[in-house]
Structure 1
Amino acid sequence: MAEKRIIRFEKWILKVVISYAVFIGIGWLLGRIPAEKIGLSEDMFFDLRMFFMLFGPIYLTLIVKIVLTILAVIKHKEKDTAEQNRGVLLAVTAILMLANLSNAQTMADLSSGLIESKGLKSLNRSKRYNLKGKRFLNVFLPIAFYMLILEILTLLVCIVTFAPLSNAASNAFIFTIALTALLLLLIPLILTFISGFKGDKAEHEEKRKMEKLDAVSSGNLVLETDPIRRKQYLWLPKLLVLLVCPVVLLLSFFVLFLTKNYHDYFVILLLRQPFMALAGTAFLSVIPLLLYWANCSGTSLVQRVYLSENRLCYTGYSGSMDERVEFAFVLLRLEEYSVGKRSIRIRGIFTRKTKDAYGTHQKNAFSKTLQLPRTFPEEQERILLDFLRNAAVNHASFDQRVQ
């Protein structure tokens, strides 16, 4: 192994020597050309030749590496650059956190929030990249890094040779270098966070699958959302957000635009008032309706009911990763229930068990009203309603005996 490394090092030294010899020779030949013929002063032309001989092999190497990286992608033989640069991402995150601890205000803004509280945990816990994201990083990381070096070298050459640079040229260099560096940092971090999120989601789904299998093997009936009924259930909030609000808002603005020059007519003024109210209502209701849509979508997706002979347990979760909160409501006594067009309302005495990143919490015997979206398959919904009907009858007979 040591001999192979020595041989590789010797070959690398030979390539460097040959490359610099070629570029020094070309630079010497360029020196035979008068500077006046190409419109440059003697000093500028001399600086360009020196930089050509000094940075020429580096430029050529970087350009060749970019071309080879693209060709490797075309031939599907790219190296696993994404996994090799995980340590760099962790180091950058650690630097940002250190800047915050040292009260560096500008860097602290970058390192606060998500990167500090969840980013490092996500990077450590993420065991794999999404396949498409990994392939993208295998191309993006080396090319962006090579481009950043080329931009910095070009800026150095221009500053020394053509100083002073114009404001437009300086701003263009600063913007290009800053943008490349920012993309080199943010895009791998974002893809890593996405990878961590997907990995955590897959693990949680596997956990829920095992819980379902354990419940079925114990003789429980597991009620889960039917995708077709869920799509029908989400039709109303989606329609309100994507169609009703925009249509009402545009219609109101159109009427107000048509009547903007008729303020002298009392009838027109009266007509404008309800349309102004409609426009304001449509505008202000977008966010509440979006929240309603998100709540309907999330609740209908994660809800699950475990039914046994005398037990009903309603489970689900909210959030993801460190912010995920799992909940389980166990019905102790049913007081009443009702079946609406969109949900089944269950009011009674429950126990609640919640689990989050900080542990498990229990709350015993409290009054609660559950709203279960009607997204269960029809057969499962019928079984659930039969259970509630029997529970209501048993509760009524128990109250009569007590009286």
Structure 2
Amino acid sequence: MPLALYLLAVAVFAMGTSEFMLAGLLPDIAAALDVSLGTAGLLTSAFAAGMVVGAPLMAALSRRWPARTCLLGFVLLFAGAHVVGALTASFAVLLITRITAALANAGFLAVALTVAATLVPTDRKGRAVAVLLSGTTVAMIAGVPAGAALGVLLGWRAPFWAIALLCLPAAVGVTKVVPNPAGDGPGQGRRPSLRSEFAQLTNPGLVLTMLVGALVNGASFATITYVAPVVISTAGMGELWVPIVLLLFGFGSFIGVAVAGRLSDRHPEAVIGVGGPLLLLGWVAMASVATEPAALVLSVFVQGALSFGVGSTLIARVLYQAAGAPTMGGSYATAALNIGAAGGPAIAAASLGAHAGALGPVWASSLLTAVAMVIALPSLRVIAPGAGEATR
């Protein structure tokens, strides 16, 4: 894989750390800025909404600029938002910085996914997506715990400064290594019109793949967002086990992305057609064995691998399906990923008040995955055609 892909993954790591670390900082932010915990939670919602809206918006606005310029601009905007956030004493300003950071993150990921597909041969898009998304999984393994530790030791502003500093080597890497493809905009060669690229959204294969991708990723975020009550209340484990369980999920997701990256280009139908049902069974199994600590810990690791293995494959399939949208395809993949990231936890939150209690989010993940499989399995030849057809 080209060095440029790994440098893009560094930026994705910084952005993923920023997105996920906020949950552990909310109580300190609420106290420092004199707002309620519920109000502070708007910072998370604003970021998720900014990601969903920002992906197509920022990709459309930046399609006339060279890829390197777009990526560098988004990284610097992201870093600047964190500097302002670290300095402000106003919750309203902090909220604006989170929306700004989300727009920059969405724009960067949309363009980076598009660029990643141009840096490798046509039949290796899945591997390129896996390398790029490994930045997110490493953020879950190392970045989020490190950010939480910095917050405890030095206060909630310290992780914001750390994220801003981490963006600097990524910016240098983008400038030095990421090529500017021939022609304008983040894609290569002559671009179709924006109307033509948006018209790709009428392609049933693209819409189905985005929908299934959003459902599978929504299931992942539904449970992992509310895993603490499962660990503490249902399994009867101590609070210190929560970061350990999150770490295991992160390790599992890293392995899942790495393995799926080697299979998703040549055998996408196997990854989705076999991995998807196993993912569904895994959520049901987790809900069933959650009272047993050892079984819960093992199932979290397995579900991390299956969730991100199947989920990253579906995101790669969006890029294949959106081949007719060379500058907007990355934004469609980003939107599918983040609709799941925003919608899954919202559905999980509603399930907490149901009869299932703390296990409600796990059952919600089971339901979301079941719906995804009902759509995907009969349409597998459309969503994940064989390697020969996929590379034509």
Does the alignment reach a TM-score above 0.5?
no
Between Structure 1 and Structure 2, the one with more helix by share is: 2
Shorter-chain TM-score range: under 0.3
TM-score by length of 1: 0.24
Bigger Rg, which one: 1
Identify which of structures 1 and 2 has the higher relative contact order when contacts are C-alpha pairs closer than 8 Å and 6+ apart: 2
TM-score by length of 2: 0.25
